[in-house]
Amino acid sequence: MNPFENAQVQLKKAADLMKLDKNIYEILKQPQRILEVNIPVKMDDGTIKVFKGFRSQHNNSRGPTKGGIRFHPDVSKEEVMALSMWMTWKCAAVNIPYGGGKGGVIVNSHELSEKELEKLSRNYIEAIKPIIGPSKDIPAPDVYTNPKIMAWMMDEFSRLEGFHNPAVITGKPIEVGGSQGRGFSTAQGGVYTLNEAMKKLGIEKKDTTVAIQGYGNAGYFAAKILYEQGYKIVAVSDSKGGIYSEMGLDPEKVFSHKKKTGSVKNFQDTKNITNEDILELKTAVLVPAALENQITKENASKIQAKIILELANGPTTPEADEMLFKDKVLVIPDILANAGGVVVSYFEWVQNLMNYYWTEEEVLGKLKKIMADSFNQIYKIQQKYKIDMRTATYISAVSRVASAMKHRGHT
């Protein structure tokens, strides 16, 4: 199944359970708009290369659409459509006034020079400019995009508009309107939900074992924050493979090793393992923080963790979800677990619109309240209906979107 079919299956499951109005379901199962663009870039050698890009806007009933832009060779229209739908539910799950959007460009950005990367970033924004803006659709960083790229994109939009317009993009550097805490907010938000789950299951944080698949921004910061809180990180991995140590790992030292060597593999006093192995380790907590479709019907029965914290988007397939629920594994789903990024993006947008900026302490205080309240409200739905956490999160999110659609006369 492609990611978009997965997203539709998840929506259908919740829609059936909550007896969602059929007209609303028909609207929600497709994006409102998907823009496909061809982006010519003059390369350093003087040749023109044309890159294909997308921007999907799933639903704007609760506010402007919001979602990241990824630069990756495997970007597809279906993936971007799925991610935009998940963003609608993610924003509604934590009750912030956005709909879901997502963008992507089919490119291996590692093969581009900095000058080529800047041209691609600016040309992509020029191509999608008619459909984005602070009150229309607000992009942000995603896979292989970062604050520097967001600054170029914001600058290009502002140049085309003719005035400084920082609220068009979030995830920017602090110096050009970024928010304190944004760099690690996805991981921090996930940790807040994990801590609530630990309380519900009566598990102490100290020496609770954790395995993390993916050691990019979300995976590294999750490891760092959990380690500082007393959790025991026993395994981490990146795209080249992983490492395991029963004694535990120091995330900072592993990160330094990765920066030097290009991978976490071969870190001192650890055993090299595969990305498949890391999912099946006997740990209390498993954190998939890589790409989609990592936990499937083939390996779900081998998962030994008590809690899965999904920091990646779409790491678990619908068939695997049902198997994990039967095995009493508590899955904190992506649309809740990794919503910290979009919550602090929302804070950044609000600060840009006000031209008034908060301290890191203020940002994290607001984030903690939103994430903890959202987890506890969704956990109540899960307990009431005896369903998995993903379906409970969908019921909460889809209800909010459906209510907004009815009030606005969109059905």
* Average pLDDT rounded to a whole number, residues 164-174: 97
Predicted pLDDT at 3: 85
Task: For domain 180-354+364-411, give the CATH number.
Answer: 3.40.50.720
Q: Domain-by-domain residue ranges, the chain?
A: 33-169, 180-354+364-411
Residue with the larger pLDDT of the pair 262 and 411: 262
Q: Matching CATH topology for 33-169 and 180-354+364-411?
A: yes
Predicted pLDDT at 334: 92
Query: Minimal CA–CA distance to 244: which of 268, 225, 223, 262?
Result: 268
Nearest 5°: CA angle at 105, between 46 and 11? Answer: 170
Measure the CA–CA gap between 192 and 177, rounded to whole angstroms: 25
Indicate the pLDDT class of residue 206, thresholds 50, 70 and 90. confident
Q: Across the strands, what pairs with 284? A: none
- Residue 1, pLDDT > 70, answer no
On whether the CB atoms of residues 121 and 127 are closer than 8 A, the answer is no
Measure the CA–CA gap between 262 and 283, rounded to whole angstroms: 26
* Average pLDDT rounded to a whole number, residues 250-254: 96
Predicted pLDDT at 73: 97
Residues of 367-380 as b/e, b for ≥16 C-beta within 10 angstroms?
bbebbbebbeebbe
Assign domain 33-169 to its CATH architecture: 3-Layer(aba) Sandwich (3.40)
The secondary structure of 180-238 as a DSSP string is TTGGGHHHHHHHHHHHHHHHHHT--STT-EEEEE--SHHHHHHHHHHHHTT-EEEEEEE
| 68-89 residue pLDDT tens | 999 999 999 999 999 999 999 9
pTM above threshold 0.95: no
| 13-59 residue pLDDT tens | 889 999 999 999 999 999 999 999 999 999 999 999 999 999 999 99
Residue with tokens 């493979």: 241
- Residue 61, pLDDT > 90, answer yes
On whether the CB atoms of residues 94 and 368 are closer than 8 A, the answer is no
- Residue 378, pLDDT > 90, answer yes
The sign of the dihedral angle between the CA atoms of 190, 195, 196, 200 is positive
Distance of CA 86 to the CA centre of its chain: 9
- Residue 291, pLDDT > 90, answer no
* Tokens of residue 319, six digits: 């068939």
* Average pLDDT rounded to a whole number, residues 239-244: 94
The secondary structure of 89-108 as a DSSP string is HHHHHTT-S-EEEEEEEE--
Q: What mean pLDDT value characterizes the chain? A: 95
Indicate the pLDDT class of residue 205, thresholds 50, 70 and 90. confident
The sign of the dihedral angle between the CA atoms of 200, 202, 205, 207 is negative
- Residue 131, pLDDT > 70, answer yes
Range with lowest mean pLDDT among 69-73, 271-275, 292-296:
292-296
Predicted pLDDT at 401: 98
* Average pLDDT rounded to a whole number, residues 134-161: 96
Catalytic residue among 66, 90, 102, 119: 102
- Residue 325, pLDDT > 90, answer yes
Q: Is 115 tagged catalytic? A: no
Indicate the pLDDT class of residue 159, thresholds 50, 70 and 90. very high
Q: Across the strands, what pairs with 409? A: none
- Residue 360, pLDDT > 90, answer yes
Q: Residue 203, exposed/middle/buried by CB under 10 A (0-12, 13-18, 19+)?
A: middle
- Name the helix (H) or strand (E) containing 366: helix 360-385
Report the percent of the chain where pLDDT is more than 70. Answer: 100
What is the separation, in whole angstroms, between the first and last Cα of the chain?
Answer: 29
* Neighbouring C-beta atoms of residue 402, cutoff 10 Å: 23
* Average pLDDT rounded to a whole number, residues 318-329: 93
* Average pLDDT rounded to a whole number, residues 404-410: 95
- Residue 342, pLDDT > 90, answer yes
Query: Minimal CA–CA distance to 109: which of 144, 142, 84, 62?
Result: 144
Query: Minimal CA–CA distance to 242: which of 217, 208, 209, 219?
Result: 219
Query: Minimal CA–CA distance to 143: which of 104, 185, 181, 170?
Result: 104
